[in-house]
Amino acid sequence: MFLINGQPGESISANNRGLHYGDGAFETIAIHNQAPLCWEDHYLRLNYGCERLGMACPPSELLLGEASRLLTDKERCVLKIIVTRGEGGRGYRAKQGVEPCRILGRYPWPDYPVQYATDGVRIRICRTRLVRNPALAGIKHLNRLEQVIARNEWQDDSIAEGLMLDSHDKLIEGTMSNLFLIKGQKLLTPELTECGIEGIIRKNVLNLAGNIGLDAVVCEISKDELNTADEVFLCNSIIGIWPVRHIEKREFAPGIYTEKVRQQLLKKNIILV
């Protein structure tokens, strides 16, 4: 089910700049008992993304009100909010005074195996690289072709995710997730000032690291550091925390600290699984 500018529907104008140029931003939000988890964090990132793109973001109250119309009687589902610059003619220059287009969609909760969160997942390294572009780094803009190409590199259902490096061969993130490594008492995650998405769960993991005795470090991480990590895990708002149990030739046992992170997030109602 979709709402387009507050009205039920499943189509937008062929002149929409989101369709022509990927001119917009989006959020994917976990819904529990008809309420969005981490709403403030999601809205702040959406607003920041729109600001970075030079377009107006719909008010929080408006989006929440429209979301409530989609979420009646839904105990658990996924809400996607897309904001595009709106309609425009051919050419990259945007018309002034154009009203942004907002699209809200409700999706079923994905049926990932429960053991992904407890026993871990198999992942791979993608060939496709993320291009460094500080102007777009961190925000969840609509241009996701790098991730689309990377995700279509494999069709093996036993591999749950693929890691992406940037054009300088530094680890950045998964195709749909953020990445963490644990080495001793250090919790490492890639620097995202050049590319990548600053995930909502990533932000919360960094904030709670000290509660479980870990020193959070944001830094450049090379592919080789996967071989010396004690634990590796992935996260996003829908999957929660997935421990990594196998990558290329390296096997990992379920990690104590990874499970502590997951339990902290569950306790604070930040993730559902």
pLDDT number for residue 261? 98
Residue 29 within a domain:
yes
For residue range 71-100, list pLDDT tens digits in order: 998 899 999 999 999 998 889 998 888 899
pLDDT number for residue 90? 87
Q: Could you tell me the pLDDT band of residue 270, with boundaries at 50, 70 and 90?
A: very high
pLDDT number for residue 97? 82
CATH of the domain at 138: 3.20.10.10
Percent of the chain past pLDDT 70, that is, above it, reads: 100
- Do residues 39 and 153 both lie within one domain? no
For residue range 162-214, list pLDDT tens digits in order: 999 999 999 999 999 999 999 999 999 999 999 999 999 999 999 999 999 99
- Do residues 97 and 145 both lie within one domain? no
- Do residues 90 and 136 both lie within one domain? no
Residue 170 is classified by DSSP as B
- Computed over every residue of the chain, the mean pLDDT equals 96
For residue range 117-135, list pLDDT tens digits in order: 999 999 999 999 999 999 9
Which residue numbers are catalytic?
A: 28, 140, 173
SS3 257: helix
What phi and psi values does residue 170 have, to the nearest 5 degrees? -100, 140
- Do residues 82 and 162 both lie within one domain? no
- Do residues 125 and 46 both lie within one domain? no
Spell out where the chain has E strands. 2-4, 7-8, 24-32, 35-36, 76-84, 101-108, 121-130, 159-166, 171-174, 178-183, 186-190, 215-219, 231-236, 240-247, 250-251
- Do residues 25 and 100 both lie within one domain? yes
256-270 average pLDDT score: 97
- Do residues 182 and 242 both lie within one domain? yes
Query: What's the domain count of the chain?
Result: 2
CATH of the domain at 12: 3.30.470.10
- Do residues 146 and 237 both lie within one domain? yes
pLDDT number for residue 85? 96
For residue range 7-24, list pLDDT tens digits in order: 999 999 999 999 999 999
Task: Decide which of 108, 129, 154 is a domain's last residue.
Answer: 108
Q: Which residues contact 123 (CB under 8 A, 6 or more apart)?
A: 159, 160, 161, 162, 163, 174, 234, 244, 246, 247
- Report the C-alpha gap between 156 and 147 in whole angstroms: 17
Q: At what angle do helices 39-52 and 200-208 cross, to 10 degrees?
A: 120
Residue 273 within a domain:
no
- Do residues 175 and 198 both lie within one domain? yes
For residue range 138-149, list pLDDT tens digits in order: 999 999 999 999
Residue 272 within a domain:
no
- Going from the C-alpha of 5 to that of each of 2, 63, 86, 139, 271, the distances in angstroms are 10, 10, 10, 22, 28
Residue 38 within a domain:
yes
Q: Which residues contact 111 (CB under 8 A, 6 or more apart)?
A: none
- Do residues 60 and 164 both lie within one domain? no
- Better-predicted residue by pLDDT, 95 or 43: 43
Residue 76 within a domain:
yes
Token pair belonging to 6: 């507050």
Count of CB atoms situated within 10 Å of the CB of 253: 10
Task: Decide which of 92, 108, 124 is a domain's last residue.
Answer: 108
- Do residues 48 and 136 both lie within one domain? no
Q: Residue 99 is part of which domain span?
A: 2-108
Pairing mode, strands 178-183 and 231-236: antiparallel
- Do residues 218 and 241 both lie within one domain? yes
For residue range 23-32, list pLDDT tens digits in order: 999 999 999 9
Check pLDDT > 90 for residue 33.
yes
